[in-house]
Chains A and B, each alone.
Chain A
């Protein structure tokens, strides 16, 4: 089960109304609140800081263009996150790196597979291990565990099947365990 997304920031309705009226100061406040969550999500999905920078910019420009369409039927942060996810995945599709991910079915994870070694608590080591995963695998892992999307939702976002999402999750989790186990052993010997 995923923990609350870093995106889950409540925004006062009055601020949203001001932004919808086109007030620049309201947009600036929205930008400041969501700059880092958008950039972080983009970085986790694309794996590249420069590309994440582009996703941040394009997401915020789309926010400016489309905020009039936001009806308040769901939390604002979820609506903005959807724009950011779409922007990031669109770039992955353009890069065509998703083709690098293996589409073959992966054996389902056992309960013990779901735990990561202690090295996972080291942000730098975990970040490096994530970087070594294929883009699609890392994206599924992040969307499922960090953002709380379901396999069906991820499949819809990525234009794949739910079983693709499940396979990538299983493969990514196993690979992450391997990478971090090596790190744990290296550090315990050091």
Chain B
């Protein structure tokens, strides 16, 4: 503690004295303002209405994919793995498509529009992908459940790749993703 040394009775250089001063803490965090700025949409010229609608549709599809819970498939339900999907060849095809989609997404990374909504969707996508990957890492996973998870992984990657493609297209037209998209999500 700086105060502990004041009875040493020795003189200090200015640099030494100043360096001993403790760091000050602001009375309130500036993070909420910065976070709001990050999440706010960067104002850009509005593009034509129909590409916005297209982007909204793409985002809505992705949003649905993101909010669908990871739950066991019910018999005959929409989530049920098609018969034979547990087959090794079918599983291999899913894994291959998953890898291709990831490569595609990696190739277009760094070209984000910068809109906060796209950023939020990107973060949600990553969270969702992590959930699926965590579930896939379960060594006791049954074959059917594994196939279903891979199907979901591929569907999520497809949706996100589609969204990113649309996002780039809209940005090229001078449009942007708007708050409504995230509201959907």
Binding site for B on A (CB under 8 A): 1-4, 6, 21-25, 27-28, 31-32, 35-37, 39-40, 43, 49, 52-53, 56-57, 60-61, 64, 114-127, 141-142, 145-146, 173, 176
Whether B138 is near chain A, meaning CB under 8 Å from some CB there, is no
Whether B72 is near chain A, meaning CB under 8 Å from some CB there, is no
CA distance A23 to B5 in the complex (A): 43
Question: Given A3-B19, A145-B18, A176-B14, are A24 and B6 also a contact pair (CB < 8 Å)?
Answer: no
CA distance A119 to B18 in the complex (A): 12
CA distance A104 to B88 in the complex (A): 86
Whether B107 is near chain A, meaning CB under 8 Å from some CB there, is no
Q: Which of B12, B110, B114, B119 contacts A121, CB < 8 Å? A: B12
Instruction: Please tell me the number of chain B residues within 8 Å of chain A, measured between CB atoms.
Output: 41
CA distance A123 to B29 in the complex (A): 23
Q: Which of A36, A60, A121 contacts B3, CB < 8 Å? A: A121
**Majority SS at the chain A contact face:** helix
Residues of B with C-beta under 8 A to A125 = 6
Whether B10 is near chain A, meaning CB under 8 Å from some CB there, is yes
CB nearest neighbor in A for B34 = A60
Whether B131 is near chain A, meaning CB under 8 Å from some CB there, is no
CA distance A40 to B34 in the complex (A): 19
A35 touches B26 (CB 8 A): yes
A26 to chain B, nearest CB (A): 10
